[in-house]
Structure 1
Amino acid sequence: MIDKIAWLHLVDGRILSTRSRGKDVYYLPGGKREPGESDAETLIREVREEVDVEIKPESIEPAGVFEAQADGKASGVVVRMTCFTASYTGALKASSEIEEITWLGYADREKVSAVDKLIFDHLHKAGQLS
């Protein structure tokens, strides 16, 4: 099991997504926790590292947990994505290992990882992702 945290940031029916250098697939901002980190600490650190903004800790809200086959891993290796929404300060920009940030809609579902597809389906069904 790969345990990851993700930030769901939606604006006008589109969701913020990232693409790492050398990759073709888009992922939601976030990543793996470091030893001893809480979900909130992981979210804040990963979002700062990837898209160079500061999450407002008091605004963090749970948004669901999703599991699917992990991309690029052996069959049966599952990623569990614990998702949160949150407000932020700063200007979004690609940082660290991130080559590109973009806004994706439901029509872009085939460009994302397996677990992100489940999240896209959930958000689309809820009327949040167009």
Structure 2
Amino acid sequence: MVSGTIEIVAALIRDGAGRVLLVRKRGTTAFMQPGGKRDPGEDDIAALAREIDEELGCRLVHGSIQPLGEFDAISAHEPGWMVRASLYEIDVTGDIAPRAEIDETIWIDPSSPPDVALAPLTRDHVLPLASRQTGAVRAVPQQ
């Protein structure tokens, strides 16, 4: 039985080779997109910029933002809940490193993911979408 829906924003970040960045939160096993819940009064972009800074220590490149749609999936970490993610493909600038509640980051080929636990949103929506796209969006090195 589904208890409700958690509204989140999520980022699709690629490197120069087209690999997709995934994160694993502390105390969990599933890898997922960076992002999270909006704070009161935040729009999607403000929430995404805040989450990227808090989780990865880098900055969103505002001219790079491409909305990809809203996607529903079973929550990876809240049993009985769904997530509804507003997904954006973005560039980031600065060094990417796990911070705050993030324990681990990995870069994966979206069309050939490694044998790791993936959040349902990532597995069922984001990686199939990313593997169909040939976007030029990637992490931008620190200037």
Settle same-fold status: TM greater than 0.5: yes
Instruction: Return 113-122 or 40-49, whichever deviates more.
Output: 113-122
**2:46 maps to 1:45:** no
Distance 1:73 1:40 in 2: 24
1:13: which partner in 2? 18
Give 5+ residue unaligned stretches, structure 2: 136-143
Counterpart Cα distance in 2 of 1:119 and 1:28: 8
Which range is displaced more, 111-120 or 101-110? 101-110
Cα pair distance change 1:39/1:109, threshold 3 Å: farther
Q: Is the 8 A contact 2:28 2:77 kept in 1?
A: no
2:138 counterpart of 1:126: no
**Cα distance in 2, alignment partners of residues 121 and 60 from structure 1:** 19
Note if contact 1:109-1:120 (Cα within 8 Å) is conserved in structure 2: no
Tell me the alpha carbon deviations over residues 78-114 of structure 1, each in whole angstroms, 9 at most, x when there is no partner. 2111111222221111111111111022323752101
Structure 1 partner of 2:65: 60
Q: In the alignment, which of 2, 14, 29 is matched to residue 24 of structure 1?
A: 29
* Percent identity (aligned): 29
Kindly indicate whether the alpha-carbon contact (under 8 Å) linking 1:55 and 1:87 is maintained by their aligned counterparts in 2: yes
**Equivalent-residue separation in structure 2 for 1:14 and 1:109 (angstroms):** 15
Gaps of 5+ in 1: none
- How many aligned positions are there? 127
Q: Which residue of 1 aligns with 2:94?
A: 90
Inter-partner Cα distance in structure 2 for 1:4 and 1:27: 12
SS of alignment partner, residue 108 of structure 1: coil
Deviating more after overlay: 90-99 vs 61-70: 61-70
CA–CA distance in 2 between the matches of 1:126 and 1:47? 22
User: Greater helix share, 1 or 2?
Assistant: 1
The 2-side partners of 1:125 and 1:58 are apart by 23
Helix, strand or coil at the partner of 1:64: strand
Structure 1 segments, 4+ long, off by >3 Å, are 72-75, 125-128
Farther off after superposition, 94-103 or 54-63 = 54-63
